[in-house]
Each structure stands twice: as structure tokens, then as C-alpha cells.
Amino acid sequence: MIRLQGISKVYNRGKNNSFQALSGITAEVKDGEMIAVIGKSGAGKSTLLHILACIDSYDSGEYLLDGILIKKLSERKLAQIRNEKIGMVMQDFALVEDFTALENVMLPLDFAAKKKSNRKQLALNALQSVGMADYAKKPVNQMSGGQKQRVAIARAIVNEPSVILADEPTGALDSKTAAEIMEVLKALNRTGTTIIIVTHDKSIAQQCGRIIEIADGSLVSDS
């Protein structure tokens, strides 16, 4: 469960190039929701996603993730929360290109605080659930965009996060492949994973149960 109460974010605070990227964002996300975040380029969508992912800090307001106040935590604690609770999927996949699919998916397990003994099997299970088990040994740099995004989703889910945050996950894909990736995300949502997708694409947004619109750093609609 995510609770945002009056979240504001200023880049370059106190400098002459300071910029208010988010102003007073208040929203609640229940476990198991599938939400699209839409808005024009520069509206603050990625900033919001980075705050949700505990990658970026905020300046005022409160963010509670599963009851934990995400503020002034040590970098070590934040890394642990990210690793355990959050899976990230990016437009450009952000994979290690010369690693195999399996090696990429095992990476978050290597960073986990609680080391698991069956890491390879867990990674294979994640690849299986996105339809990529047969490609486990293939280097990512020999894959299509759609295959790479499936591997990136497998990497995002290997630690069984409660939330998947996806920033324009279909932005680099043709429409047929984008539809396939949306089916993978919807299937994960049906198993109970909360999914938040930043997108420019109306047809992607309409497949989500809820659409939040951001304009100039403010929440302008939530339906």
C-alpha cells in the first residue's frame, strides 16, 4: 500500500536554477491496483516514479510504503526496501547488454540482503513467467526489443516485489510488441502485484484500472 500526502519536489533547491517538479501530490494506491500515470513531457511523471521507487528524495509531504515512512532513511535501508519491495522497468530496458538473460535476472538476487541458495532456479522461474525460459543462456545484445523488455520484467519480479514501477515500458516498442508486454504486465497484476505505468500512450493507459494525470507537477485528475 502506497500513501502520498502532499509530496513536493524541488530540483536544485536554493540555487538560481531551482525548479519545482512536483507540488502537493496526494494519492493512495491499494495493493493489487493497476494504474497509469499520464501527462505531457516534463509534467513530473518520472520524478514521481523515482520518488515512489525510493531512488529520489522529496522535499515536503510524506510517502508511506507498506507503512514505512520513506524519509531520511539511510542509503543502506533504502536499498534494502527497493530490493525487497520494488521492481523497476524502464523504456530502454537498462539491462547489462553482454550478460545473458539469466545473468541479468540473477543480479537483484545477488544484491538481496537475505541471500537465497536457489538463485538460479528463482531466476529461471521469473524468465519462465514472462515466456523467456528458452532464452536463459542467450546474451541480451542478441535479442529483440520485446524480448529485452520481457527479460527486464523478469529481473523486476525475481525478488517478488509488491510493486512494479514502469517508466514508458512500451515506449521503444512497436504496437504489436507493446500489446504483448502489456499482457505480461496484466498477468502479473492478476497475481496480485501492484503495477504503476508511466505512459504517453492513451491506449496503454486505458488498459489500466485507474488513470492519474499530472500537469506541471500537480495531480489534475484521478479516475
Ligand X SMILES: Nc1ncnc2c1ncn2[C@@H]1O[C@H](COP(=O)(O)OP(=O)(O)O)[C@@H](O)[C@H]1O
Q: Which of 43, 126, 173, 184 binds ligand X (CB under 6 A)?
A: 43
Say whether residue 19 binds ligand X (CB under 6 A): yes
Span from 26-34, 45-53, 119-127, 135-143 in contact with ligand X (CB under 6 A): 45-53
Dihedral of CA 143/139/84/116: which sign? positive
Residue 206 in the binding site for ligand X (CB under 6 A): no
Among the listed residues 29, 47, 51, 173, the single contact to ligand X using CB under 6 A: 47
Q: Within positions 48 to 107, which residues make up the interface with ligand X, using CB under 6 A? A: none
Work out how close the CB of 165 gets to ligand X at its nearest, in angstroms, rounded to a whole number.
12
Residues 20-39 that bind ligand X (CB under 6 A): 21, 39
Contacted entry of ligand X, Mg ion, none for residue 117, CB cut-off 5 to 8 Å set by kind = none
Residue of 9, 46, 65, 136 interacting with Mg ion (CB under 5 A)? 46
Taking the mean position of all CA atoms in its chain, how far away is CA 167? 6
Q: 28-67: buried (b, 16+ CB within 10 Å) or exposed (e) per residue? A: ebeeebbbbbbbeeebbbbbbbbbbbbeeebeebebebee
- Separation in Å, CA 20 to CA 44, 58, 71, 73, 204: 9, 11, 19, 23, 28
